[in-house]
Chains A and B, each alone.
Chain A
């Protein structure tokens, strides 16, 4: 399998505090990887560092063979990395349609079009002309994922995509994440419900105090006794 993302020795700092201590992470084409760990262990920081949002960082980030260690967020996106942040980041004063179209890029042969996104999330169709700020949390999450897909990514970074959502909506989000993976888009997924993550990813890594302490196939990790120790559950 070809490597989509290859991060080596990633360190990151927020002010004086050293958050990531040399993280190595590989994501292959069409693979989905769970990123797990307790609160404050550096999961979001790792995603934000990969996306170029952390000013003080070290290490190398290769994406599809190109060195993007010092790239900015808009450059990462242009290369094909889509980031759906915690809190969703919908633009409340723009309509659903405007949110979807503001950054859409022309799809390759079988990429994501507006029609396909709306077919995947039928609830967005009904709300197409409403300001995104009026949407429910679940609808905003669908909008954020749909908008990310319209940038034609090869790698999606999903941070807490199901946080605070009703069980039915959570199930729908996971259904879509599976569909995205089947589409050949690689995913890096952070989610509080680690059992659910392991059920939907190929592989997972566990972060502890800014270092990877455990990694492996989802099925194997599921049975690993150390997992519950690291995740504190």
Chain B
């Protein structure tokens, strides 16, 4: 492996890991703080990708177009979707058993897939990266690397830093971290925990949708695309420790590296490497790398 190919694989691993983090961070928060196993989280990622495809022409027609405008419209819709879903479904799941949560959220996957099929059909679509990000930069003598992938990584890093700041330095962050350990005490201090959960859930949905929109130009848009992401995200949550944002970041980056380099160096075993990694880490630390909060 030459330096240039190594660098390219490394950048791919980083980009994949960071994108995974955006989806998995919401999943780990919803699981760790609200205590809800949300199988439908992958559907939000898919929804995001389809939004990138379907919203762009609408934004072009009504708001004058623009990549960031499309992203912003998508995130606003995602927050609204998260609020409504939490109010209508997930607020009833907090105190329920895991089996009921799994049944309910699996049902939501089917509903989302059917709605997707009705609204945009079952075809695979490509989404173009905006023109100013469509180029490539040279790496070494013959290799190039697409600017859009670098842009994705940059955006993910900015979001990860923003999340760090939110959790460490704002009262909302303190309350969210407290909510994962002692729900009743948080209420005793005058904080409406149901509203806090709704905010967390909407935030998690927005992150997954945003990740889907961001990924659409490199992954293309296809039915069932959320399911694959969902499974890897659960691996991230388990490795990182349920409810831990730090853990989710580290686990995502680890999986990014193992998966990307696995496909290059050990293609025969690439499909199982991520799970081997999970098994090894759980043998070492059965509760995952970090604790919640």
Contact = CB atoms under 8 A, between A and B. Distances in A.
Interface stretch (A37-45, A98-106, A171-179, A206-214): A98-106
A74 interface: yes
B174 A101 contact: yes
B217 to A, nearest CB: 39
Contacts of A72: 187, 192
Interface in A142-171: 147-148, 151
Contacts of B187: 72-74, 77
B189 interface: yes
Q: Which of A53, A74, A92, A101 has the most CB of B within 10 A?
A: A74
A73 B192 CA distance: 9
Contacts of B215: none
Interface string B188-206: 1111110000000000000
Contact of A89 (B171, B188, B193): B188
A193 interface: no
Contacts of A73: 184, 187-188
Q: Which of B189, B192, B193 has the most CB of A within 10 A?
A: B189
A51 B188 contact: yes
B174 A94 contact: yes
B171 A101 contact: yes
A74 B185 contact: no
A93 B177 contact: yes
A112 interface: no
B175 interface: yes
Contacts of A151: 189-190
B285 interface: no
B291 interface: yes
How many residues of B sit at the interface, in one of the four size bands?
20 to 34
Contact of B177 (A53, A77, A94, A105): A94
A81 to B, nearest CB: 9
Contacts of A92: 181
A74 B171 contact: no
Contacts of A51: 188
A83 interface: yes
A98 B168 CA distance: 9
A94 B190 contact: no
Interface string B170-188: 0100110110111011111
Q: Which of B188, B291, B293 has the most CB of A within 10 A?
A: B188
Contact of A91 (B182, B190, B193): B182
A85 interface: yes
B209 interface: no
A78 interface: yes
A92 B177 CA distance: 10
Contact of A77 (B174, B175, B190, B291): B190
25 contacts: A53-B184, A72-B192, A73-B188, A74-B187, A74-B191, A77-B188, A77-B189, A77-B191, A89-B182, A89-B184, A89-B188, A91-B181, A91-B185, A92-B181, A93-B180, A93-B181, A94-B174, A98-B174, A101-B171, A102-B174, A102-B175, A103-B186, A147-B189, A151-B189, A151-B190
Given A77-B187, A89-B185, 4 more contacts: A73-B184, A92-B181, A93-B180, A103-B191
Interface of A: 51, 53, 72-74, 77-78, 82-83, 85, 89, 91-94, 98, 101-103, 105, 147-148, 151
